A and B are shown apart, each in its own frame.
Chain A
Amino acid sequence: MSRTPARLAAVAAAGTLVAVAATAATAGATRAGAGPIKIGISLSLSGDFSDSGKAAQRGYKLWAKVANSHGGVLGRKVQLVIQDDTSSPTQAQTNYQNFITKDKVDLVFGPFSTLLTAPSAAVANRYGYAFIEPAGGGPAVFQEKLHNVFFTQPAPVLQSADVFVKFLSSLPKSQRPKTAAYPSLDDPFSSPIADQVRALLQKKGVKTVYKTIYPSETTDMGPVIQKAASKHPDAIIGGTQNGDAYAQVKAMVQQKFSPKFVFLTNGPNDPAEFPSKVGAKNVNGIFSTGDWFPQEKSFGNAAFVKAYVKAYGGSSATIDPSSAEAFAAGQLVQEVAAKTKSIDNKTVISTLHKGTWKTVEGNLRWNSIGEPQGSDLLMEWIGGKLYPVYPKALALHKPLVPKPGWGSK
């Protein structure tokens, strides 16, 4: 009676081995050569990051389509090998292992989110692959000090709000805030940014009157805003994601608390959703940042927006910046190929480390560990519309200071 499980285990094990060996054999057969250029990308098509993962997928696919309609890269068609990582870092890492050692892809692009990029970049680095990644800008990615990483946004996440500080410094002294409160979300892309802004502003004499970090499941901003309001700050500077940003604004409206400045790192930068969530009359004067803007006059942006709307419908306002970031990754490969006639990973890495590169995300250049050296855009809601207002060279509207009261035009 006890022999059956043994046999079963043996059969199961043997079956696995055979299946695995069979796949191994076929995998070995496909070799890089004159065929299409294969690019492996792990994306979160299900799970927590799936919305942004799918947006990135649209950007990647759009780039491949556009590139192929112009004859591909170096005369070879581009073929994307996209795998779902279910928003799990373990699976993302597995996917990159598969791309590199099984599918023998020519290049890999990054997944969505720093949390998945950090472990994946290490895999790519081990095999000498360049890791052009659109969405991993958090400190964890750069902490490893990998030479093969290239983040395709103008600034690392941590520095993404520095532009707001620069803007405040550009104001006449009387208009600048004297006190600020920092309610932030406990999230790698939120509270560290607020911390960074706080450090910079404190140096410039802006007093911190309140600071708190709330957990991601906090959906009720009432108490937080109440406490912040009780300190009467000139500015509310929140490291936020979308949901809690909406909740913060709603709580401020409810409590009739209208500070002179409201800056939220994420949330207000969603042109389609923000007004619908907080009420169109409550958006004016709120600041946020962005790495990309539909009307931006960056390299190939107008064509990108046009092609995007044609391919996926909607309007330029509904394009998720993740799509533009992903598109930029592809642009970089095309430019390197045009310049060096090669897409060899070693060449890509050494070439990208030199000079400035034009993308829909603006002109990018990196330090030795892949941190971009540019600056994000400061966005503001004015007259019910979202405009880039700083730096001046990229601004489409004059900034509105101070914030008008809730419900006013």
Chain B
Amino acid sequence: MHQVIQAVILGLLIGGVYALMASGLTLVFGIMRVINVAQGALVILAAYLSYALFSHAHVDPFLSVLIVTPAMFVLGVLVQIVFVRSLRGDDAEELSLLVTWALALGIEGVLSVIFKTTYRATSPSYADKTLTVFGYQVQFVRLMAFVGSAALLLVLSLLLTRTKFGRAVRATVQNPTAATLLGVDANRVQTLSFGLGVSMAAAAGAVYGVIYPFNPGSHYDLISRLLSIVVLGGLGSLGGAVVAALVMGVTEAVVAVEWQPTWASFSYFIVLIVVLLIRPQGIFGVRERAL
């Protein structure tokens, strides 16, 4: 039992970081019906940026979030303008899937030229510190990562509910046509939200590098998790993504401890398929038909 609870704690902490990455993905989908397959690669890119800042300029990885996130926001805006916005036609959404995949390959390629393919890890001095709470071990960096992710998710939700930009975003999510009629500049909202989605990846990525070793190819594993999180939560649903991320974290951690680590991520895919069997729109998804 002790081990199960320990695993649940671990899973929740990890799930929080995944929730942050997935939030960007689902937000972008909600606004422009674009699945950013490069989200995983952008996370890894951010992890490398933070790694480089740490190893060359000794910037603390948690502080580097403040540098990496705005930089990646700009990158996200550029990507949206150059690659995503230029897609036209009725199958622009499907094409975006492939364009962002190509982008992911490109990022992987560039990273492996610059950083090679060996695994890296950002290891600040406190990387190995462990806290013991009620007999359960909690790694300090994971706790930090979780708290940081939760804080950023809170900021994101405040941004969406309390600001003018947030209202424009939510209006666009609910009804793009109506939002345009109400004077929302759709292009601007889309570009900024894409940047915002990428910054979520960036913030999570800087943190990711501290808790996990990574290499340029790590994005495949990441994106498969992120995509199944957003599908499980319901495409476009922020709350759904958070819940699904926590479900994934806990499922994997418990299966790894109680059964076998090799079946951990498989078990999560099974959860996904079963949920889709019952609710094709995901846990919090809205059933919609293109009429």
Contact = CB atoms under 8 A, between A and B. Distances in A.
A226 B6 contact: yes
Contacts of A218: 256, 261, 264
B91 interface: no
A220 B17 CA distance: 14
A253 B3 contact: no
A220 B214 CA distance: 11
Contacts of B118: 51, 242, 273
Contacts of A243: 119, 121, 213, 215
B123 interface: yes
Contacts of B41: none
B7 to A, nearest CB: 6
B272 to A, nearest CB: 17
Nearest to B141: A254
Contacts of B86: none
Interface in B110-157: 112, 116-119, 121, 123, 127-130, 137, 139
A255 to B, nearest CB: 7
B260 A212 contact: yes
Contact of A50 (B3, B116, B211, B261): B116
A257 B74 CA distance: 45
A226 B127 CA distance: 17
Given A220-B211, A226-B3, A51 B261 contact: no
Nearest to B217: A48
Nearest to A250: B128
Interface string A43-68: 00011111100000000000000000
B212 to A, nearest CB: 4
B253 interface: yes
A46 to B, nearest CB: 7
Contacts of B14: 220
A231 to B, nearest CB: 12
Contacts of A219: 211-214
Contacts of B94: none
Interface of B: 3, 6-7, 10, 14, 109, 112, 116-119, 121, 123, 127-130, 137, 139, 211-215, 217-218, 221, 253, 256-257, 260-262, 264-265
| Most chain A CB neighbours (cut-off 10 Å) among B10, B139, B213, B217 | B213
Contacts of B256: 214, 218, 223-224
Given A214-B261, A254-B139, 10 more contacts: A48-B217, A51-B118, A186-B262, A212-B261, A213-B262, A215-B265, A218-B264, A222-B137, A223-B256, A246-B121
Interface of A: 46-51, 186, 212-215, 217-220, 222-224, 226-227, 230, 242-243, 246-247, 250, 253-255, 273, 277, 279
B134 to A, nearest CB: 16
A142 B50 CA distance: 44
A277 B123 contact: yes
A214 B212 contact: no
A72 B3 CA distance: 63
Contacts of B213: 219, 243, 246-247
Contacts of A186: 262
A48 B121 CA distance: 17
A51 B139 contact: no
A218 B6 CA distance: 17
Contacts of B139: 222, 254
A217 B139 CA distance: 20
A278 to B, nearest CB: 9
A218 B263 CA distance: 11
Contact of A51 (B116, B137, B212, B221): B116
Nearest to A230: B3
B260 A46 contact: no
Contacts of B109: 46
Most buried by B among A47, A243, A277: A243
Given A186-B262, A220-B14, A222-B10, A227 B257 contact: yes
A214 B265 CA distance: 11
B137 A255 contact: yes
B70 to A, nearest CB: 27
A254 B127 CA distance: 9
Contacts of A49: 117
A223 B10 contact: yes
A254 B265 contact: no
B265 A50 contact: no
Contacts of B7: 223
Contacts of A230: 3
B210 to A, nearest CB: 11
B17 to A, nearest CB: 11
Nearest to A282: B128
10 contacts: A46-B109, A51-B116, A51-B117, A212-B261, A215-B261, A215-B262, A217-B221, A223-B6, A223-B256, A243-B213
A238 to B, nearest CB: 13
Contact of B261 (A213, A247, A250): A213
Contacts of A48: 117, 217
A267 to B, nearest CB: 10
A241 B261 CA distance: 17
B261 A224 contact: yes
Nearest to A270: B118
Nearest to B256: A223
A186 B256 CA distance: 14
B128 A213 contact: no
A269 to B, nearest CB: 14
A255 B130 contact: yes
Nearest to A183: B261
Given A214-B262, A222-B139, A243-B119, A46 B211 contact: no
